[in-house]
Chain A
């Protein structure tokens, strides 16, 4: 079996699982959000890998070029990146508010304070 044929997908899965691991094991809220970013980016890589055509170039029409990569996933991911950062910003704003209220951004300490109420 040719390793190069599926390497992109496997690394995307590896990155996705690393992000997943960061989200579920680490209690620090900022680190959780960064883990979530790893997760999203892995999806971007998967989509862009699917769009690649061997021997193709960027989908900008130019004379003398016959093969282009698939432009549709590019469009989907382009907007997803900007939407991703906007939603991350909402997450970070919530982290700031949690810090105001609890004085910490560690999940277990927040839970302790909740229980002691």
Chain B
């Protein structure tokens, strides 16, 4: 049964990818890529990667689609050029694919418990994580404790990407968006006029934010954590912006505040590392934070997940603000 679901989802993924290649209306392509992400998320659930599925569903179908849509909103909605040298490209792609398929021939079968990947560090994580870290969700304990360095690096990458987007698109233009709109005589976006949408979204936003908080603080015990919570919290704000306009959203939280929050998140993460150093442990060794190592781990994970969550949330909203502030610019 599991295998049938797996094969069906994979086949659908292949078909969606082919459709993305064939269609030249960018709007349709973006919708298809949203569907593709959702299929991916389902596939990840069927392969036991619930945390990953969670992230893919929130990021791929939510944030990425919204960003792509705001880009075509500010540029062009139609692909105008025909594929260049398709036969040559097909040849290159088939040759590369054939080599890669040849490479899979001596790979262990799918789901094989004796595969080398399952005999390196993974058994230790599975057996010892509850005694050493104390979190039921092993993905969380690896993410924030065993491999805390990686996660710090990734948080910094997200922070840097956010800074780059803001640097490329311009901070000041973003802040003056409201003035520009008022000068052009636009008071509210079109969507705000739909009564049903407005009421439904008003009811939904608190629930989304509450759910994000649940995901943030329940990450130790179930699927979830800072990354997912940050993205879900951000999607609540994006919902609000889509409905009531960028100007209103920026009055709730200004781009400047967001940039401070983002920096604060990274600082929290790094600060925990420095604190553990000062308390006599290694960098990001949470055991020394409290007299009881398990309590120390708990506190450390709580703090760094909070740092990750706030950084991801504020960077995602900041990127979205930066993209939507382009809309009024060209009119």
Separation in Å of the A69 CB from the closest CB of chain B? 4
Let me know if A69 and B79 touch, CB within 8 A.
no
Count, chain B residues at interface, CB 8 A: 103
* A-contacting residues, B5-39, CB 8 Å: 6-7, 10-11, 13-14, 17-18, 20-21, 24, 26, 29-30, 33, 36-37
A79 touches B143 (CB 8 A): yes
Residue pair A78, B138 in contact (C-beta under 8 Å): no
Q: Check A14–B97 contact: CB distance below 8 A.
A: yes
Given contacts A75-B143, A81-B55, contact A13 B104 (CB under 8 A): yes
Which of chain B's residues has its CB closest to A88's CB? B64
Which one, B50, B59, B89, B312, contacts A24 given CB within 8 A? Answer: B89
Report B-chain residues with C-beta under 8 Å of the C-beta of A95. 71, 75
B158 within 8 Å of A by Cβ? yes
Provide the residues of chain B in CB contact with A84, threshold 8 Å: 59
Which residue in chain B gives the minimum CB-CB distance to A53?
B113
Q: Is the CB of B125 within 8 A of A71?
A: yes
Q: Determine the chain B residues whose CB is within 8 A of the CB of A108 once the complex forms.
A: 81, 84
* Inter-chain contacts of B64 with A (CB < 8 A): 37, 85, 88
* Cβ–Cβ contact B68 & A60, under 8 A: no
Q: Chain B residues near A93 (CB, 8 Å)?
A: 164-165, 168-169, 322-323
Of the candidates A10, A19, A31, which one forms a contact with B79 in the assembled complex, judged by CB atoms under 8 Å apart?
A31
B26 x A51 contact (CB < 8 A)? no
Known contacts A30-B71, A38-B36; A72/B17 CB under 8 A: no
Min distance, Cβ B263 to any Cβ of chain A, angstroms: 15
Q: Does B1 contact A (CB under 8 A)?
A: no
Q: Is B303 an interface residue (CB 8 A)?
A: no
Whether A59 lies near B101 (C-beta < 8 A) is: no
Taking a contact as CB atoms under 8 Å apart, the answer to whether A54 and B18 are in contact is no
Task: Count residues on chain A whose CB falls below 8 Å from chain B CBs.
Answer: 85
- Residues in B whose Cβ lies below 8 Å from that of A26: 79, 81, 83-84
Chain B residues in 8 Å Cβ range of A81: 52, 55-56, 59-60, 227
Q: A50-B115, A60-B138, A89-B161 are in contact. Are A10 and B101 (CB under 8 A)?
A: yes
Bound-state CA distance A6–B115 (Å) is 13
Main secondary structure of the interface of B (DSSP, over half): helix
A75 touches B147 (CB 8 A): yes
* B7–A4 touching, CB < 8 Å: yes
Point out the residue from B56, B107, B136, B151 that lies within 8 Å of A79, measured CB to CB.
B151
Q: Does B250 sit at the interface, judged by CB under 8 A?
A: no
Shortest Cβ distance from B162 into A: residue: A86
Cα distance A35–B90 when bound, in Å?
15
Among A16, A19, A83, the most chain B Cβ lie within 10 Å of the Cβ of A83
> Do residues B71 and A60 form an inter-chain contact, with CB atoms below 8 A?
no
Residues in B with CB closer than 8 Å to A9 are: 104, 107, 110
Are A25 and B322 within 8 A (Cβ)?
Answer: no
Neighbouring B residues of A59 by C-beta, 8 Å:
48, 126, 137-139
Contact at A83–B157, with CB atoms within 8 Å? yes
User: Which A residues, 58 to 77, have Cβ-Cβ distances below 8 Å to chain B?
Assistant: 58-62, 67-77
List the interface of chain B (C-beta within 8 A of A). Answer: 3, 6-7, 10-11, 13-14, 17-18, 20-21, 24, 26, 29-30, 33, 36-37, 40, 43-44, 47-52, 55-56, 59-60, 63-64, 67-68, 71-72, 74-76, 79-81, 83-86, 89-90, 92-94, 96-97, 100-101, 104-105, 107, 109-113, 115, 117-118, 121-122, 125-126, 129-130, 136-139, 142-143, 147, 150-151, 154, 157-158, 161-162, 164-165, 168-169, 221-223, 225, 227, 231, 312, 315, 319, 322-323, 326
Given A53-B48, A81-B55, 16 more A-B residue pairs with CB atoms under 8 Å apart are: A5-B109, A20-B96, A25-B85, A25-B89, A31-B29, A34-B33, A54-B112, A60-B137, A70-B117, A78-B52, A82-B59, A85-B64, A89-B67, A95-B75, A106-B79, A109-B80
Using a CB–CB cutoff of 8 Å, the interface residues on chain A facing chain B are 2, 4-11, 13-22, 24-28, 30-31, 33-35, 37-38, 41, 44-45, 48-62, 67-79, 81-90, 92-97, 99, 104-109
The 10 closest A-B pairs by CB, nearest first: A86-B161, A5-B109, A54-B111, A69-B48, A25-B83, A27-B81, A11-B10, A28-B79, A18-B17, A79-B154
